[in-house]
Structure formats: C-alpha cells, structure tokens
Amino acid sequence: MRTPRTLRRGWPAAAGTVLLVGASAWGAGPPASVVTTVHNLSVSGPGEVRSLTETEVCKFCHIPHNALEPEPLWGHALSKVPSYAVPPLRSRGGAAAPQPDGASRLCLSCHDGTVALGEIAGQARPIEMAGAQRLTPGRPGFLGTDLSGSHPISFVISDAGTQDPVPGEDIGLKSAGVIRSDPKVRLDAENKMQCTTCHDAHADRYFQEDRVPRFWVAPTVSEVCLSCHALR
C-alpha cells in the first residue's frame, strides 16, 4: 500500500466529481483523469460497463467513511477468494510468488470476477450496472483467479530476485539497488512490485490498440519492462 503521505498529497480537483473529504484539506492532484477512462463506472463513464444511476465517479473504489482499508479509503468490497494460483519465483528456487496484497488486492476485487462491480461497503445492495454486473470470462477486463500465467506480483524487489529469472534466456535483471533507486519504477512503500508498477488505475494516457495496454504508466511497454530488466 501507498503511504498516508501520498494519500494526503493528492485529492484531485475533479470537476464534476464528488470529493471524498473537505477539499480544503487536500491539494489538487492527478486522479481527475480517471473520469475519461473505463474506470469511470458512473453514469457518465465512456465504457460499456457503467452504472444506470450512480453519478459519483470515485465511489466505486473509494468511500469517505467506514473504509475497508484506510489507505486509500477503499470502498469496493474485497474478494473472498481463499488463494490465487500464482507463478513461481524462479530466482528464489521456484518458491511460489506471494499471494496478491497491497494495491493488487484492490484491483483484483473487480478483476478476478468474483465480486459485483457495484458492491460497495455499507450499501445494502450493489449498484446496478449496464454491460455487466461483474467481470466474466470473455470481457476485456476479466483476469480470473489463475494468475499463474502472469508476471509475478506482491514480491519484494530484493537482491535475491535480481539473478536472471530464466537462466539461459535473454531477460536479465538489474540489481535491486538500481531498480529501487530509479524514480520511474513504481514500487509500493514496502518495495513490492504490484499491478500499479505497470498500470495506473487513474489515468489511461498511453493506450494504443495492440501496442500499449490500458492504464499503462509510460508511453511504451518496453520502457517499463526495461526499467527493471536488461536485455543481453
């Protein structure tokens, strides 16, 4: 999870959205950009999946009171999946990657497909959606609970992981020190790699069909990969 420091730094001046706390306590910040993305699940959202009635944009993920996680005032019902299938960390003797935690767990509360998109803490009934009540196989956003074919997440970037992940293949890794000190690499407060290392839930600036995935953190895919990996 991010630190309280970041939380205090930036509620955005999101025009047309309802701020979660008194605006005076919070500076202007970037998340206003979420409004134009498919993560705007309110009636004004641009995507196929959106609410029929709800006008608040942030509410699908954040609530001002009785949050499920204090940072970042998380409101979307969390998944109850007991365990995800995860890839092995080859550089650590093939031990399984940790179960998703931190921000990744928040993403998976919608993307594993087990929880209704409109299920918000403290609401008697889920917000009714057009398009899909929850993400199901075949939807572009569906990941499911088998993450074994995905890049490992929720592990600490440490020197144990900086050996070559696949011996003999040309995908080397920089040292943990180099990775951690590169300001472009988005690790969480515990130096873990999370979904947010590669995707930014609040902004979809760089999307290009078949070239750059949605919510990507940089203009190209390779500059993200190459911030940690070194081709040989």
Residue 128 CB, nearest distance to ligand HEC (Å)? 14
The reply to whether 105 sits near ligand HEC by the rule CB under 6 A is: no
> Which of 4, 27, 140, 177 touches ligand HEC by CB under 6 A?
140
* Residue list 72-91, contact with ligand HEC (CB under 6 A): 72, 76, 87, 89-91
- Fill in the per-residue mask, 22 to 41: x = in contact with ligand HEC (CB under 6 A), - = not in contact: ---------xx-x---xx-x
- Three-class secondary structure assignment of 70-129: CCCCECECCCCCCCCECCEEHHHCCEECCCCCHHHHHHHHHHCCCCCCCCECCCCCCCCE
* Residue list 141-180, contact with ligand HEC (CB under 6 A): 141, 143, 151-153, 157, 161, 165-166, 171, 173, 179
Distance between CA 147 and CA 39 in Å, rounded?
21
Residue 43 CB, nearest distance to ligand HEC (Å)? 14
Structure tokens at 186: 């988005």
The answer to whether 19 touches 11, Cβ cutoff 8 Å, is: yes
Q: Which residues of 118-137 are buried (b: 16+ CB within 10 A; e: fewer)?
A: bbbeeeeeebebeebebbee
* Residue list 45-74, contact with ligand HEC (CB under 6 A): 47-49, 57-58, 60-62, 72
Burial class (CB in 10 A: 0-12, 13-18, 19+), 80: exposed
Residue 179 CB, nearest distance to ligand HEC (Å)? 5
> Which of 106, 116, 127, 203 touches ligand HEC by CB under 6 A?
106
